Amino acid sequence: MKTSQQLPRNKKPSNSRVTFDGRHWWISVGFQEDFELQELTNESIGVDVGLKELFVASNGMKERNINKDAKVKKLLKRKKSAQSDMSRRFKKGVKIQSAGYKKAKAEHLRLSRKIMNIRNNHIHQATAKLVKTKPMRIVVEDLSISNLLKNKKLSKALSFQKLNFFFQCLSYKCEKYGIEYVKADKWFASSKICSCCGVKYDHSVQPEGQWSLKIREWRCVPCNSHHDRDVNASINLSRW
């Protein structure tokens, strides 16, 4: 049996789980970790997630959308090709499929697992960077991912971003560091409120017109402040 790292000695394992991904068997084991509470700053960080970037934070941190990387795009293309190969070789009504079908299926599973691991690793690293700045609190939007996935135009990109997994990782890492993890009210218009003067975006006077996802930058008419949509949202979240 191969392990990803050396197992700790003199510690009782718990929550053992065995899973099968279609090709390999995996066993995951939990061990209680002794972790000293960190000395935190007085900073409150707002974190705005999205599709253009994984997140933009009010302290200036920004993490890219890993799905835009050339490596991931190439893997997705190969996965799609393997899926097409599977469909082409599949024989309806046949219990035992051909060797070609099984080979295509194994390749599809291998690529799916590789892409998933890249995305998960990226999220783990991104959330670790955030909590290691040791703010006293981190504020995020209370997004209903299930409702967002109903949008046919956004569902594919949203599923690739794995935002539920992002929030899950950020939440438990905050708990580990003793950082307050806050969800702002779902109706809080973080993107539409000017972080300089507090006036809410009004499409009747704004030159950009009706508010939509296409508006990435806007200028507040009352105070003439120019805003990047995501940066502005993160600043407003930090003050929630």
The 10s digit of each residue's pLDDT in 54-101 is 999 999 999 999 999 999 999 999 999 999 999 999 998 888 899 999
Identify the pLDDT of residue 81.
96
Identify the pLDDT of residue 58.
98
Identify the pLDDT of residue 165.
96
Share of the chain above pLDDT 70, in %: 98
More confidently predicted of 59 and 209: 59
Q: What is the mean pLDDT of residues 139-166?
A: 91
pLDDT of 112 above 80: yes
**Residue 216 counted as domain residue:** no
Q: What is the pTM of this model?
A: 0.87
**Residue 214 counted as domain residue:** no
Q: ∠ CA 56-193-168 to the nearest 5 degrees?
A: 40
More confidently predicted of 20 and 78: 78
pLDDT of 153 above 80: yes
The residues annotated with a catalytic role in the active site are 48, 141, 230
Task: Give the total number of structural domains in the chain.
Answer: 1
Share of the chain above pLDDT 90, in %: 71
**Residue 156 counted as domain residue:** yes
d(CA 134, CA 169): 16
**Residue 48 counted as domain residue:** yes
pLDDT of 1 above 70: no
**Residue 202 counted as domain residue:** no
**Residue 76 counted as domain residue:** yes
- 22-26, 56-60, 99-103, 115-119: least confident range: 22-26
Q: What is the span of the domain harbouring residue 123?
A: 13-187
**Residue 169 counted as domain residue:** yes
Question: Six-digit token pair at 166?
Answer: 């992002």
